Amino acid sequence: MTAQEGRLRRLLRSRILGPSIARQVEEELDLHLELLVRELAAGGLDERAARREAAARLGDRRALAAACGRQARGTERRLRWSVLADELRQDVAYALRQLARARSFTAMALLTLAAGLGATTALWSVVEGVVLRRFPFAHPDRTVLVAETWKGGDSNFSAGNYVDLAASSAGTPSTAGTPSTAGTPSSAGTPSTAGTPSTASTAGTASTASTRSFSQLAAMQFSALNLAWGPDPARVLAARVTGGFFAVFGVRPLLGRTLGAADGEAGEESVAVLSHALWAERMGGDRAIVGKTIRLSNRPYRVVGVMPERFDPTDSHEELWVPLVFTPAQRAQHDEHYLDVVGLLRPGTSARAAQAELSVGMRRLSALYPHDNVGRQGVHVASLSAFILGDVPRRLFILLGAVGLVVLIACANVASLLLARGAVRQNELAVRAAIGAGGGRLVRQLLTESAVLGLAAGTLGTGLAFVLVKLFVRLAPPGIPRLGETRIDGGVLLFAFLLSLAASLLCGLVPALRSARQSPQTLLRGGMSGEGPSRDRLRHVLVAGEVALALTLLVGAGLLIRSALHLERLPLGFDPAGVLTARVGLPESAYPQPRAVEQAFEQIVARLEKRPGVRGASAGSGVPLGGYGGNNGLLPEGKPFSPENLIDASFHLVMPGYLETLRIPLLSGRTFDAADRAGGDRVMVVSRALARRAWGDADPIGKRIACCEDAAASRLKTVIGVVGDVRTRGPASEVRPEFYLPMAQAPQEGWKWLQRTVNLVVRGDSPAALAAALRGAVHEIDPTLPVPVVTLADALRRSLAEQRFHTALLLGLGLLGFLLATVGIYGVIAYFASQRTREIGIRMALGASRARIVRQLAIEGFLPLAAGLLLGAAAALAATRWLEGSLYGVSATDPLTFAAVAAMLGGTGWLAILLPALRATRIDPTRAIQAG
Amino acid sequence: MRKNKSTSDRLRGTLDALILTALSGGPLHGYGVSRWLAGRSGKALRVEEGTLYPALYRLERLGWIEAEWGTSELGRRARFYRLTPAGTRQLAVEVQTFAEFVAAVSPILLPPPAALGERA
């Protein structure tokens, strides 16, 4: 007898066949008493004395019995668990044997499930890494982005507003300063403490700021600077930040220190903190970099620190940080809004409370400076992590939902296969039931089988997920934050494990219950083709479900494809073919006066035009798809100054020839020419959208509109031309009003707003020649300037990349679901046909035509298909609502897409039904009757 | 092997070792164990019934002994206990622990005569 049989026997004996524990203990103690009495009597005591003595020795019988009873119950528990473990081991061994025996079934089921589970695990890993993972700030839930509100949307802060708001509502001062250990360079590898905020923030400087709601507040301004280090000059994105910036995020530097309140003050030398990427790539990861000096746009900066890898708090990919300190003139400037503001809320303060506090201050500022702050009544405080993630969570969850549907289809397929197998295994199960395996045990066995299958598929799937995640990260377009840090960790593995169990339960529960429910007698008596009608119906229901799910997936994919096509065909308003651009910025030190900047760019463009291969050349402050540009509020002449009358329009400072080079169509009037110079009539070209907003259908040529200047005399500009609308931000964006001013008539502050940077544009046939022309022309004027060249065609492709990626993935999932569903339909029909071989043979022998039999089989299969299509249409109508944010030019309930997908599914479904039906009737009747 | 036992643990461990040893020669019922221990210790050791039976049941719960019903000398049925393979292993462990304990304590409490009066 093996150990486990012994355990089983003991358990059965003790519980089922034996006396209760209490009685058992009683019996044992009674016996001991009797034996003791006999011993004592043999030693000389009389019967009664012996009994008394024995009872005394035994002591408190009840307590004794209770103590023993407790232990005995423990024994029973232990036995029960080990019996269960034995049975589980048996079941697993049995399951493995069975699966090995039915090779084609196992292979199909494994592949189907592994594909679905692997895709889900991979996608979950991405969701976990991008959306759910904690942001690397000290207090991510309290880190916020603060913006002024302007016409219902967010807008940047002006320096004046920021300084006043931060200083005036100061509550308790920022953390009383232990003087920072700033300045002591750390030995390699040990991070020093971050620069601590100043002990006293004098009102007005607000070098580090805090208020009642915020323990830290900081402003940032992005600018591109020319970095001179090593042989090639490079353009790097820098962030100018106020003193409390690093304290908002609480991340310790890798080397050296971060910026603090004292940095950037007048008289101090300029310092900079580098990002890890810049340090590793450009400076070779030099550990002795702290203390060395770099030149940014011809100014020296001493490196004081390096941030750790992946420190990119606003996902703006800035490469270094330099101090931002406002001059008195800047502090008084309330009208130029260019600052991004981040803050750290005090513990226990909600974003809404902070928003309320600052909005009060904002309204006060609006009253104080009505012209500069018109329409800016409030402040918007929002979580920084939510801002960084943007729309990405919604898209990822859509994908996750889609892959979930695929898994459901896969599970339906496997369940269908299990049901079929259940019918085949009836005899074996009947025998097992007859020799005593209770219904529960049988169900447990069958569930163990599907669990083994599910876990094996899950393991395969996890292996697949590794590959899929790598592929996803490689192929995904930029724009998904934190994607590079996605990996499969313990949490994801746990998810995969639980998912496999859930899937195996989903697939196996109903087939197991069905198989185990039938009593042994009916099973044994069932005969050869004992196929219960209920099993038929269940498989048909599964088919209907699969079709419905597949239809939902395909409708979603179809809608996205139509959106993508719509975007491709959308008129951009300009012609990107053959156009290259380069963004060139002049350093302030070498070109301090606006006139110098203008002349330099004019010279560059003049040289460009003369270069071989150049059909047209010009320059502009922004370039379509470039992502640069600001807005201004315009007021048509004659309209009173109020938020409703101010038109928010995109601002472009351009040279003559810009509109022609980009082939932006002129609709009426004229574009700029050499006559539009400083001192002449101030002119403007408007887009059609702007013209319509300002003057409706009236002819805008000759009308005047005010913008961009403080001095009333220069504020009004005359409209000389109307051009077509341009989708500056790409095909997926809306059309906005735009206006163009000639560079020669740039507003006083214009070059400062633009940070002395323009985009050169050239059109020609050969990209190589154009790139050389750009570099050559710029370097003739100033060889130290970096010239990053971009083709507009590439920029266009990149702007559509996210949409395309999303569509491609959803299409892939839809096709996978479609394939699985089709295979499922085919499998079910083929199986039923093969089961009825005998019956078909008889009927054909008796004279029934093939056509009739095929028709009957087909109708049987058609009903679930039709039901699935209807069900799927209803489900899709509900589900596509979630896609609305990604659809362009097509509604979520587009009937054409629904019809096309239904036709495709229905048609393939028909084939999947007809083919096996036809094959079934091709057999020889005599053989069919003998078989079966 | 639990090295640093508390006092009650050590006593319990010793009792376990005694019971397991008693059963190492073959199955016995509870009364038989008590007789065996008394006999082997020259009547010096008498395990209280109130201690013995809970110990027996505990050892059964731990899986070191197992019980089966058999016939006693009185003709009535009795629960006979027997060592399991795990119990045999545990017995070796307990004996070893006890030997180490004795070896550690003996030189202090029962020093050899020549060392009496000496300071360490």
Confidence at residue A189, expressed as pLDDT on a 0 to 100 scale: 33
Q: What is the pLDDT of residue B20?
A: 93
**In the predicted structure, residue A24 carries a pLDDT above the cut 80:** yes
Provide the sign of the torsion angle of the four alpha carbons A581, A274, A197, A202, taken in this order.
negative
**C-alpha distances in Å from residue B72, one per residue of A214, B21, B27, B28, B68:** 84, 21, 12, 10, 12
Contacts (Cβ under 8 Å, ≥6 apart) of A427: A523, A524
Residue A874 pLDDT: 94
Best mutation target, A33, A75, A80, to test chain B (most B CBs within 10 A): A75
In this structure, what token pair is assigned to residue A769?
């020649």
Under the banding of pLDDT at 50, 70 and 90, the label for residue A277 is very high
Q: For residues A304-317, give the mean pLDDT.
A: 90
* pLDDT at residue A676 is higher than 60: yes
* B48 vs A contacts (CB less than 8 Å): 57, 59
Query: Under an 8 Å CB criterion, which residues of B touch A?
Result: 29-31, 48-50, 53-54, 56-58, 60-61, 63, 66, 68-69, 72-74, 76-79
pLDDT > 90: what percent of chain B? 40
pLDDT digits (tens, 9 = 90+) for A680-723: 888 999 999 999 988 888 898 989 988 877 677 778 889 999 99
Interface of A with B (CB under 8 A): 10, 18, 24-25, 27-29, 31-32, 34-36, 57-60, 63-64, 67-68, 71-72, 74-75, 78
Of B61, B66, B74, the CB nearest to A74: B61
Instruction: Please say whether the beta carbons of A161 and A332 come within 8 A.
Output: no
Instruction: Pick the closest to residue A79 from A16, A14, A11, A2 (CA basis).
Output: A11
* Torsion sign (Cα): A685, A689, A690, A695: positive
Across A62-71, A795-804, A818-827, A865-874, the highest mean pLDDT is recorded for: A865-874
Closest to A32 (Cβ–Cβ): which among B49, B58, B68? B49
Please check whether residue A838 is in contact with residue A529, taking contact to mean a CB–CB distance below 8 angstroms.
Answer: yes
Are residues A32 and B54, on separate chains, in Cβ contact within 8 Å? no
Out of A34, A68, A78, whose CB is closest to B53? A68
What is the spatial distance between Cα A893 and Cα A877, in angstroms, rounded to a whole number?
6
**Strands in A422-485 per DSSP E:** none
Which segment of A195-199, A428-432, A530-534, A688-692 scores lowest on mean pLDDT? Answer: A195-199
* A41-56 per-position pLDDT tens digit: 888 888 888 888 888 8
Share of chain A above pLDDT 70, in %: 89
Candidates B29, B31, B72; nearest CB to A36: B31
In which residue are the tokens 């038109």 written?
A: A647
Cα separation, A720 vs A691, whole angstroms: 11
Read off the pLDDT of residues A354-373 as tens digits, 9 standing for 90 and up. Answer: 888 888 888 888 888 877 77
pLDDT at B83: 94
Question: If residue A733 lies in a helix (H) or strand (E), which one and from where to where?
Answer: none
CB atoms within 10 A of CB B82: 15
Min Cα distance B48 → chain A (Å) is 7
3-state SS assignment for residue A576 = coil
Close Cβ partners of B40 (under 8 Å, ≥ 6 residues apart): B22
Residue B50, C-beta contacts closer than 8 angstroms, at least 6 positions apart: A58, A59, A60, A63, A64
State which amino acid sits at residue A245.
F
Residues of A in contact with B72 (CB under 8 A): 31, 35
- Confidence band for A900, pLDDT divided at 50, 70 and 90: very high
Q: Nearest 5°: phi and psi at A232?
A: -100, 135
Q: Residue B115 gets which letter from DSSP?
A: G
Indicate yes or no: CB of A35 within 8 angstroms of CB of B31.
Answer: yes
Report if pTM > 0.90: no
Chain B contact probe: residue of A11, A25, A27, A32 with most B CBs at under 10 A: A32
* Secondary structure class of A930 (helix, strand, coil): helix
The answer to whether residues B27 and B112 touch, using CB atoms and an 8 Å cutoff, is no
How does residue A548 score in pLDDT terms, banded at 50, 70 and 90? very high
Higher pLDDT, A232 or A384: A384
Residue B87 predicted with pLDDT over 70: yes
The pLDDT, as a whole number, for residue A898 is 93
Q: Select the residue of B58, B66, B78 nearest A31 (Cβ to Cβ).
A: B78
Predicted-complex ipTM score: 0.86
What interhelical angle do A392-424 and A103-127 show, nearest 10? 160
Please report which confidence band the pLDDT of residue A336 belongs to, taking 50, 70 and 90 as the band edges. Answer: confident
pLDDT given at position A194:
35
User: How would residue A466 be classed by pLDDT, with cut points 50, 70 and 90?
Assistant: very high
Residue A838, both tokens: 């005998």
Residue A621 in this model has a pLDDT that exceeds 60: yes
- Provide, rounded to the nearest whole percent, the portion of chain A with pLDDT above 90: 28
Give the mean pLDDT of A507-512. Answer: 86
Our CA-based measurement puts residue A5 at a distance from the nearest CA of chain B, in whole angstroms, of 14
Query: Counting Cβ atoms within 10 Å, is residue A528 exposed (0-12), middle (13-18) or buried (19+)?
Result: exposed
Whether residue B31 and residue A31 make contact (CB cut-off 8 A), yes or no, is yes
Q: Which of A791, A752, A786, A743 is nearest to A601 (CA)?
A: A743
Average pLDDT of span A304-324: 91
CA angle, residues A653, A224, A794, in degrees to nearest 5: 70
Count CA atoms closer than 13 A to A240's CA, side-chain side.
16
Contact A342, A145 (CB under 8 A): yes
The pLDDT tens digits of the residues spanning A560-590 come to: 999 988 888 888 889 988 999 998 888 877 8
CB contact (8 A) between residue B60 and residue A71: yes
For B26-75, write each residue's pLDDT tens digit: 999 999 999 998 888 887 778 888 889 999 999 999 999 999 888 888 88
**CA-to-CA dists, residue B77 to A27, A30, A164, A313, B70, angstroms:** 9, 11, 96, 80, 5
Residue A459, pLDDT above cutoff 90: yes
What region does A90 belong to: left with phi over 0, alpha with psi -120 to 50, or beta?
Answer: alpha
C-beta of residue A185 within 8 angstroms of C-beta of residue A174: no
Residue A526 pLDDT class (50, 70, 90 cuts): low
Predicted local distance difference test score (pLDDT) of residue B114: 67
Q: Are A410 and A115 in contact (CB under 8 A)?
A: yes
pLDDT band at A195; cut points 50, 70, 90? very low
Token code pair at residue B22: 């008693």
Closest CA to A262 of A248, A247, A243, A245: A243
Predicted confidence band of residue A871 (pLDDT cuts 50, 70, 90): very high
Average pLDDT, chain A: 84
Q: In the prediction, which pLDDT does A184 show?
A: 35
Q: Tell whether the model's pLDDT for residue A479 goes beyond 50.
A: yes
pLDDT surpasses 70 at A435: yes
* Residue from the list B48, B54, B66 with its beta carbon closest to the beta carbon of A67: B54
Using CA atoms, how far apart are residues B37 and B46, in angstroms rounded to an integer? 7
